[in-house]
Every structure is written in C-alpha cells, then in structure tokens.
A = this chain, B = another copy of it.
Amino acid sequence: MPPPALGEFALIAQLSHVFGPAPPDVVQGIGDDCAVLALSPERYLLWTIDSLIEGIHFDLAYMSLKQLGRKALVVNLSDIAAMGGEPQYALLSIGWPPERELGGALEVAAGLQEIAEKYAVRLIGGDTVRSPAGLMLSLTVLGSIRPEELLCRHGAQVEDLIYVTGPLGEAAAGLEVLRRGMELSPEPQATLLGAFLNPQPQLPAGRCLAQHHLATALIDLSDGVASDLFHICTQSRVGARLNAEQIPISAALSQVAALLHLDPLDLALKGGEDYQLLFTAPAHQEPRLRQCFQAAGLPPPLAIGQIIAGDRVYLETPAGFQDISGAGFDHFLGLTTE
C-alpha cells in the first residue's frame, strides 16, 4: 500500500518539527497567520510571507495584471488583519516568464501600489527574477501591534460565539462564474466577480477587535470556514458547532449556486479566498461588539455558531449534526478534503 498522501497541514507540522521550537523572543512561530517577534516591549512585530503562483492561485485569462498585483498584497495584508495588527512595509519578489512582455511588471506594480496607498503600506524593496513557466509573486509584509492587543488562533473558549465579518462563498462563486464564462444579471455578477477579483483585507475590523479586546481568537478566511475554524479549534483545544441557518448566504450566491446545481451552503463553508475575518468572542460581549463595529463604520459581525468542548467542527442542520472538521481547500490534496 502506498503511504497516505501528505497534506498541507501534515507537511507544516513536520516542517515545524525540523525547524524546532521557537526561541523566547518569538511570541508566535509556525502555525498562525503571522510570525510575532518581541523586538521591543512597546510593539510586537508581525511578519508574513505569501506567494501567488500562475496556474494555481490565478489565471490571467480572467484576471488583469493590475488585479493580480492588488490581490498579491491583499492576501498578505489579510494575514496582518488576522492578528489585529497594522501593516507597515512590504518587499516584493517577482518571477517573470520570458514570453511575457516585461513592461507588464509595471501593471502588477501599479496594482500593488494602489492597495499599498489605500492601507498605508510602503513597498521598500525586493527581488526580480526570471521564471521559466508562469508568473510568480512572493510578498512579505511587516506590521506591528501593541502586545496587549495581539489576537491569535489560540484563545477560543467553550461557549464563545463564532462570528464572521461578511458574506461567505462569494469569491469561490465568482471564480466559477469566470471559469464557466457565465452571464448573471448585473448586480450579482458584479458582487461575485468583485469578491474574487478585488477582495479587501479586513484591517479595520481586525483593529476594532484588537483595540477593544473584543475577540478571544482570530483568523482570516483563506481556505473556507470549515477549514479555518478547524485551525482555531485545534490551537484553542476546543470544538465548534456551526448553525447552518446562520451562515450568511447572499442572494447573489444563492442565484449562482442554483444555476450551477451546487449547494450554496457548501460554497459558503468550503469556498476559499473570502478574506473575511473569522473570530470568537464571549456571548456577553455581543452588545459592545455591535457598538464598536458601528462606531468604526463597519457592518455588524455575523454570529454563525458556538465554541463547544471537544476537538471537532460540526455543522448543525435540521437533519442533524455533520462533522466538517477541516473540510475545504487543501493545496496539496486537491480542491476539497473531507
């Protein structure tokens, strides 16, 4: 019998073993959205790296170079948002294929710079290389946070409520619309394509949670709620129960799911790249949570379930409970793993 396939999370666990435990000045090493360094007593440094590879993370048949540049920075800034922090600086490593006109790199740069200006980030260096087969963008971002504000994946407590900052599954649906060349009515078309092509990092929501000490655990939604909530549960040593009726499914998502004969709930729970925030907070904080989000001009966070004892993530539907722990996108095992 061949050995079982090594998935992304098993690989990370094994790499983490090779690299050994983090030293004392590393507040958070492998296993969260950012590494966290205690370089000064007043500010922790947040540090992340993310790569986008042509043919895996993007297809230039339905994404412009400028949109690609925007998204490459957004996915990194989303990691800073997922710790509650403020981004400050970025370095870019760009691998450019020989058959593509090099001037296109300036379109990528224009997209990067647009997001950089919007979120007060400075691009201050990098590396430019040839890439034989497809475009590659690696970005690394540094941000910072006050030590007492830091939010990690661990920290969720039994009975905490589980929230998301916005609708789910729209980016995955937008990708399907593009792949199949579908034409919906203008409004849902714009909503879904926008979710996939122009996601925004939820930095204001992350700051709101951090500054007001509202959350117990925080992560960004890159692989889908089922998968990302499982990370919170694993690192907090708890389980979770999601309420199917509370999962925010927009009219646009329902419409496209019906056309594709897909379950909208499945897209919402397992679709990746939403870049919304997923967090846990004590139930008694709900009024303060709503008030702080409102004061910051943010839409109210949406409760979708509750932390429970155990180590599994369940979906509660009228038909009963279903174990969806870790279901969603695994880069190494295929599109969905259950």
Contacts and interface: CB of A to CB of B under 8 A. Distances in A.
15 contacts: A14-B106, A15-B106, A18-B106, A18-B109, A18-B110, A19-B116, A29-B122, A31-B125, A37-B124, A37-B142, A48-B127, A49-B93, A95-B136, A131-B136, A136-B136
Given A53-B129, A56-B130, A129-B51, A124 B332 contact: no
Copies per complex of this chain: 2
Given A124-B26, A125-B30, A91 B47 contact: yes
A57 interface: yes
Q: What 10 A-B pairs have minimum CB-CB distances, sorted nearest first?
A: A133-B133, A138-B138, A55-B132, A35-B125, A140-B140, A19-B123, A18-B109, A29-B124, A6-B102, A51-B93
A163 interface: no
A35 B95 contact: no
Contact of A26 (B23, B30, B122): B122
A134 interface: yes
Nearest to A101: B6
B18 A128 contact: no
B133 A55 contact: yes
Given A89-B37, A93-B138, A8 B51 contact: no
A103 interface: yes
Contacts of A19: 109, 112-113, 116, 122-124
Contact of A126 (B23, B30, B113, B122): B30
Contact of A124 (B35, B56, B122, B128): B35
